[in-house]
Amino acid sequence: SDDPARVIYDKKDESQLGTVRFEPVHTGPVPFTWPLPFIGDDTVWEGEMGVSRKVSLPAGLELRLLPGTTVLFAPKRGMWINGRITAIGLPDRRIRFTGAENGENGQWHQLMVENGTGDFINCDFEQAATALHSHGSLLNVWGCTFQHNNRGAMFRGGPVDFRANTFRENSFGLVPNLAVGSVKGNTISRNKVGIQVRDEKDGRLTITANGISGNSRYDVQMGEFNTGDIDLTGNRWSPGGPKIYDSRQEPGIGRVLF
């Protein structure tokens, strides 16, 4: 943390001595590519981290990402979390998950949380096939942005809490499937499909107080396996009303109530 010129004694201080040459001090960690297909202990990532292969985190371990960290995924690569991932950024030092190469949506695979725990606050997800994917996991996603992905967030089971996030310019913003929990206060706009409901006939997911508008094909699309209705009252829509695909277009798939 000291200025090297102040703590090095050389020719500048005594003329008959030689000179010590030094590089400027790094302001942060140097870029690093994770070298193993697994994380074998509780681990902290900071700075610029590369993922060049599928990396897994076993149950019982925690991966913590510090504010300002960027995770760069090689094409078709991703992470499988069976333990706990904690990614809590700050408003001015957000955490970013993106592709290592600038390109189209779907460049990298997914960040999968399966039977684990994930806390994502002030994070940005972009350029993934499925940016955040969870099965049977406790998931808190607050103040995050999902942009330029094939699917922003896809989740089954839970409980999940999606709060105050932005989903924009994805092929599909959110894709719930027999999910449990809450989707509240999010902005879901300028996607091809805002929400694609795979199967929510048991009614254990609450979707309310969201702004769902300006999606090019559908604001809400009922999936082929969804035989029950879904209650989407209490959300905000475009002035002309929502663009809905449900049993009114395809009998047997359930209705969207709004």
Could you report the per-residue pLDDT of 37-81, keeping only the tens digit for each?
A: 999 999 999 999 999 999 999 999 999 999 999 999 999 999 999
Task: Tell me what pLDDT residue 29 has.
Answer: 79
Least confident of 49-63, 120-134, 217-231: 217-231
Q: Assess whether pLDDT exceeds 70 at residue 202.
A: no
- Enter the tokens of residue 202: 């048991």
Q: Assess whether pLDDT exceeds 70 at residue 105.
A: no
Which residues are CB-neighbours of 144 under 8 A, at least 6 positions away?
Answer: 120, 121, 122, 123, 124, 125, 165, 166
CA 252 – CA 229 distance, rounded (Å): 10
In the structure, what pLDDT confidence band is assigned to residue 5 with cuts at 50, 70 and 90? confident
**Residue 31 preceded by cis peptide, ω within 30:** no
In the structure, what pLDDT confidence band is assigned to residue 8 with cuts at 50, 70 and 90? very high
Task: Tell me what pLDDT residue 1 has.
Answer: 62
Task: Tell me what pLDDT residue 201 has.
Answer: 65
How far from chain centre, in Å, is Cα 66? 15
Q: Assess whether pLDDT exceeds 90 at residue 200.
A: no
- Enter the tokens of residue 16: 């008959």
Q: Assess whether pLDDT exceeds 80 at residue 27.
A: no
Q: Assess whether pLDDT exceeds 80 at residue 130.
A: yes
Q: Assess whether pLDDT exceeds 90 at residue 226.
A: no
CA 110 – CA 117 distance, rounded (Å): 16
Which residues are CB-neighbours of 167 under 8 A, at least 6 positions away?
Answer: 146, 147, 152, 153, 173, 174, 186, 187, 188, 189, 191, 194
Least confident of 10-24, 77-91, 189-203, 206-220: 189-203
Task: Tell me what pLDDT residue 74 has.
Answer: 95
Closest CA to 185 of 152, 146, 234, 149: 234
In the structure, what pLDDT confidence band is assigned to residue 103 with cuts at 50, 70 and 90? low
Write the DSSP string, 89-117: -BTTB-EEEEESS--STTSEEEEEEESSE
